[in-house]
């Protein structure tokens, strides 16, 4: 019995022959359908692990992928687009494709690529079954607050969301939501593991307060998963002619974001750095941790965050050195921390930030 199932929407006899053989060799059952309209009906009624769509008719392929992302059964299916030199690849990937495979199909390259897809599905299934859910959530990160998104699915270890905004990688995301049938909010922090061009993001939980964990566990037990869900991911190797829909691979979390404005901003570095934080003019230290650092600011993790607008002095000790950096709180996330924008008025202050960045990037504990 096949371990996984796939729907192959393609009328190219040669491509069908090559892909069917490879999929079956990898214990992935294949269902062929050359008609996108008929495929849309199947995708609304039956769940598949893999969807392969020939983009010869580009408009029909894009419409089918968009339709699939709107279904309950297959909105998290791993979608592979078959493209050629005439295909508007950016339009196809923006529709929600996870992988791109180029025609004519090479058996050797396709085997390697589909093996990567199969490994991805197996990995995702090991992470726990996800339960489809449709609910609003509010996201906060760095100096950004109240980004609206929709929950797609949820497990005890993470969630998938759909958002019109690109979420940061290499940095924590703080979010809260009310699950269907519940009245109390679940408040968590997590890290973005992956996101695609359609705005879907997979987030792994990092910090779950006890009250939120209790609410989450009770809801999961009352709403058992009917079938395992698959979270979108990205292709691992462009040399195999299987290309990621977005170059947002992350090992851990990269703080590269999708918009042009964000790319022009200061590059950020994930870190875990002890610091003493003072309200400006106060001698009472607050021992905190910096989890995100750039030339323009940082994130200060603390259970008792400072109110927005509070002016701070951040003191970081490195061996015999002591750096003092001033900043102002731009965002606050109760129970988690605050986003701080540096206020650098002198050349000495700017140099201290550059020293701190240089130390973090190099891993060195000695300032020169």
Residue 367 banded pLDDT, cuts 50, 70, 90? very low
Asked if 28 contacts 53 with a C-beta cutoff of 8 angstroms, the reply is no
**Rounded to whole angstroms, what are the CA distances from 330 to 67, 120, 143, 296, 340?**
40, 38, 6, 12, 6
The burial class, CB within 10 Å (0-12 / 13-18 / 19+), for 309 is exposed
Range of 82-91, 161-170, 197-206 with top mean pLDDT: 82-91
Residue 316 has pLDDT above 90, yes or no: no
Beta strands in the chain (DSSP E): 4-9, 28-32, 50-54, 78-83, 99-102, 131-141, 144-154, 158-162, 172-177, 186-195, 200-207, 242-244, 269-279, 286-293, 297-301, 311-318, 321-333, 337-342
Region 133-154: mean pLDDT is 84
Beta carbons of 293 and 356 less than 8 angstroms apart: yes
Q: If you average pLDDT over residues 116-130, what whole number do you get?
A: 66
What is the C-alpha to C-alpha distance for residues 43 and 35, in angstroms, rounded to an integer? Answer: 12
Q: What is the pLDDT of residue 335?
A: 66
84 to each of 23, 247, 310, how far by Cα in Å? 21, 20, 55
The tokens 């300032």 sit on which residue? 367
Interatomic CA distance for residues 214 and 209, integer angstroms: 9
| pLDDT tens by residue, 343-355 | 888 877 787 787 7
More confident residue, 2 or 91: 91
User: What domains can be seen in the chain, in order of their start residue?
Assistant: 4-126 (3.40.50.2300), 131-222 (2.40.10.220), 266-362 (2.40.10.220)
Pairing state of beta strands 78-83 and 50-54? parallel
Under the banding of pLDDT at 50, 70 and 90, the label for residue 14 is very high
Q: What is the pLDDT of residue 320?
A: 61
Distance, in Å, from the CA atom of 306 to the CA atom of 312, rounded to the nearest integer, reads 9
Q: CB neighbours of 204 closer than 8 A, spacing ≥ 6?
A: 157, 158, 190, 191, 193
User: In angstroms, what CA-CA distances link 287 with 39, 43, 188, 207, 353?
Assistant: 58, 53, 22, 19, 19
DSSP letter (8 states) at residue 39: H
| Distance, CA of 233 to CA of 242 (rounded, Å) | 13
User: Which pLDDT does position 330 carry in this prediction?
Assistant: 83
Which of 138-142, 181-185, 355-359 comes out lowest in average pLDDT? Answer: 355-359
pLDDT of 52 over the 80 cut: yes
pLDDT at residue 10 is higher than 50: yes
Region 42-64: what's the mean pLDDT? 91
Rounded Cα gap, residues 48 and 5, in angstroms: 5
Give the pLDDT band of residue 319 (cuts 50, 70, 90).
low
Q: Which pLDDT score, from 0 to 100, does residue 127 have? A: 54
65-73: Cβ within 8 A, 24+ apart: 65/92, 65/95, 65/96, 65/97, 66/95, 66/96, 67/40, 67/43, 68/40, 68/43, 68/96, 69/95, 69/96, 69/198, 69/200, 71/43, 71/44, 72/132, 73/43, 73/44, 73/45, 73/46, 73/47
Q: What is the pLDDT of residue 301?
A: 81
Asked whether the predicted pLDDT for residue 9 surpasses 90, the reply is: yes
pLDDT of residue 248: 26
Of residues 77 and 318, which shows the higher confidence score?
A: 77
Residue 210 burial by CB count (10 A; 0-12/13-18/19+): exposed, middle or buried? exposed
Average pLDDT, the chain: 76
The predicted-structure confidence for 213-265, as pLDDT tens digits, reads as follows 888 888 887 876 543 333 333 333 333 333 333 322 222 222 222 232 333 34
């Amino acid at each position: 019995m096949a371990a996984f199932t796939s729907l192959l929407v393609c009328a190219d006899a040669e491509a069908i022959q090559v892909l069917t053989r490879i999929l079956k060799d990898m214990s992935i059952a294949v269902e062929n359908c050359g008609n996108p309209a008929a495929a849309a009906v199947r995708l609304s009624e039956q769940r598949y692990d893999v969807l392969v769509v020939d983009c010869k008719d580009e408009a029909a392929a894009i419409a089918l992928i968009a339709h699939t992302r709107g279904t309950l059964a297959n909105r998290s299916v791993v979608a592979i687009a078959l493209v050629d030199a005439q295909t508007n690849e950016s339009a196809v990937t923006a529709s929600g494709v996870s992988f791109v495979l180029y025609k004519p199909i090479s058996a050797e390259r396709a085997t390697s690529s589909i093996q990567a897809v199969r490994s991805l599905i197996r990995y995702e299934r090991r992470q726990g079954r996800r339960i489809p859910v449709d609910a609003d959530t509010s996201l906060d990160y760095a100096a950004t607050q109240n980004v609206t998104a929709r929950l797609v699915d949820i497990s005890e270890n993470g969630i998938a969301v759909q958002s019109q905004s690109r979420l940061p990688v290499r940095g924590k995301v703080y979010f809260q939501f009310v699950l269907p049938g519940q009245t109390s909010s679940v408040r968590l922090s997590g890290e973005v593991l992956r996101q695609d061009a359609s705005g879907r993001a997979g987030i792994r939980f990092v910090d779950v307060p006890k009250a939120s964990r209790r609410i989450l566990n009770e809801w999961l037990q009352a709403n058992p998963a009917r079938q395992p869900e698959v979270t979108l991911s990205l292709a691992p190797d462009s040399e195999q002619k299987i290309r990621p829909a977005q170059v947002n691979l992350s090992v851990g979390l990269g703080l590269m974001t999708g918009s042009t404005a964000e790319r022009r901003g200061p590059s950020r570095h994930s870190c875990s750095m002890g610091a003493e934080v003072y309200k400006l003019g106060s001698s009472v230290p607050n021992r905190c941790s910096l989890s995100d650092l750039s030339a323009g600011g940082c994130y200060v993790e603390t259970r008792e965050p400072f109110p927005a607008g509070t002016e701070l002095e951040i003191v970081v000790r490195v061996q015999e050195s002591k750096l003092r950096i001033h900043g102002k709180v731009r965002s606050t996330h109760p129970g988690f921390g605050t986003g701080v924008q540096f206020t650098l008025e002198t050349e000495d202050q700017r140099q201290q930030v550059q020293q701190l960045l240089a130390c973090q990037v190099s891993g060195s504990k000695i300032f020169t």
